[in-house]
């Protein structure tokens, strides 16, 4: 046991560290070019931050969090992603005071208590960007073009961009209801996870990995048919900006 790393973790050995540095340098350079500044938040946070920040009915919060009680009897969670902590830090440190648009990026270890045999690690590495304080569609387009540029810089070709919208608190309930109507006749044939998602978070019926569920979800209504005028306008502007930037 003393000569074995914990389940779901992996050493990065000296002969591979160069690859990691190459990737990390590329990320830092690219984010810098786009005006994103690095933020480093703690590896762990109060559990409530993720419960409220990610959403209590997501897989991450329901079954994948690496949570423990510390010696002061506080519930602590190793960060499963970095958005919630970045927003927490933005508010706590009043980063909004300097600028209307706060552009941040992060890179580091994240933790999820996942089944390692699915090819996933319990400690994994993630980079991401956050643009806070501005709802302009140009910002969405900028983040997407950063992601596309990153893949191109890595030498990947034939990149295909698929775009969707998650709507807003105004139009999402409409879509929720349409989904429930659509799934109502077939929900009994779906897996147990989906049965419990039906009431609590029907949008998640769309990303079940179960073959039978996937099949039943194939002809589900699309959110893009339920967007409110504002979201629809926003969604089309994002596409216009991307087209102008030469991204299909």
Residue of the chain from 43, 101, 159, 168 that contacts Zn ion (CB under 5 A): 168
**Alpha carbon distance, N-terminus to C-terminus of the chain:** 51
Residue of the chain from 41, 136, 180, 210 that contacts Zn ion (CB under 5 A): 210
Shortest Å, Cβ 184 to Zn ion? 15
On the 0-12 / 13-18 / 19+ scale of CB atoms within 10 A, 77 is buried
Q: Which is nearer to Zn ion, 11 or 229 (CB)?
A: 229
CA 109 – CA 59 distance, rounded (Å): 19
Does 231 interact with Zn ion (rule: CB under 5 A)? yes
Task: Give the pair of three-digit tokens for residue 5.
Answer: 């790393």
- Relative to beta strand 123-132, strand 102-111 is antiparallel
User: Of the candidates 76, 50, 80, which has an alpha carbon nearest to the alpha carbon of residue 64?
Assistant: 80
Q: Which is nearer to Zn ion, 79 or 204 (CB)?
A: 204
Q: Which is nearer to Zn ion, 143 or 171 (CB)?
A: 171
**DSSP conformation class of 56:** T
Length of the chain as a residue count: 248
Q: Which is nearer to Zn ion, 145 or 210 (CB)?
A: 210
Does 228 interact with Zn ion (rule: CB under 5 A)? yes
Does 174 interact with Zn ion (rule: CB under 5 A)? no
Shortest Å, Cβ 109 to Zn ion? 30
Contact residues for Zn ion, defined by CB under 5 A? 167-168, 170-171, 190-191, 194, 208, 210, 213, 228, 231
């Amino acid at each position: 046991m003393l000569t074995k790393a914990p389940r779901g973790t992996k050493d990065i050995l000296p002969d591979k560290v160069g690859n990691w540095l190459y990737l990390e340098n590329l990320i830092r350079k690219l984010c810098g070019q786009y005006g994103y500044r690095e933020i480093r938040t703690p590896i762990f946070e109060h559990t409530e931050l993720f419960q409220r920040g990610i959403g209590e009915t997501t897989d991450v919060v329901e079954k994948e969090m690496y949570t423990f009680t510390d010696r002061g009897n506080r519930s602590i969670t190793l960060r499963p992603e970095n958005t919630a902590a970045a927003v927490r830090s933005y508010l706590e440190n009043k980063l909004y005071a300097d600028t209307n648009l706060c552009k941040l990026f992060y890179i580091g270890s994240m933790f999820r208590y996942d089944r390692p045999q699915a090819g996933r690690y319990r400690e994994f590495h993630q980079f991401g960007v956050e643009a806070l304080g501005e709802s302009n569609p140009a910002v969405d387009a900028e983040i997407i073009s950063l992601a596309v540029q990153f893949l191109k810089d890595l030498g990947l070709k034939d990149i295909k961009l698929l775009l969707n919208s998650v709507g807003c608190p105004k139009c999402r309930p409409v879509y929720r209801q349409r989904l429930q109507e659509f799934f109502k006749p077939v929900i009994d044939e779906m897996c147990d996870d989906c049965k419990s998602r039906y009431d609590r978070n029907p949008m998640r019926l769309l990303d079940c990995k179960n073959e039978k569920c996937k099949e039943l979800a194939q002809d589900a209504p699309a959110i893009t048919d339920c967007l409110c005028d504002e979201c629809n306008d926003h969604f089309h502007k994002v596409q216009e900006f991307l087209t102008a930037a030469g991204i299909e």
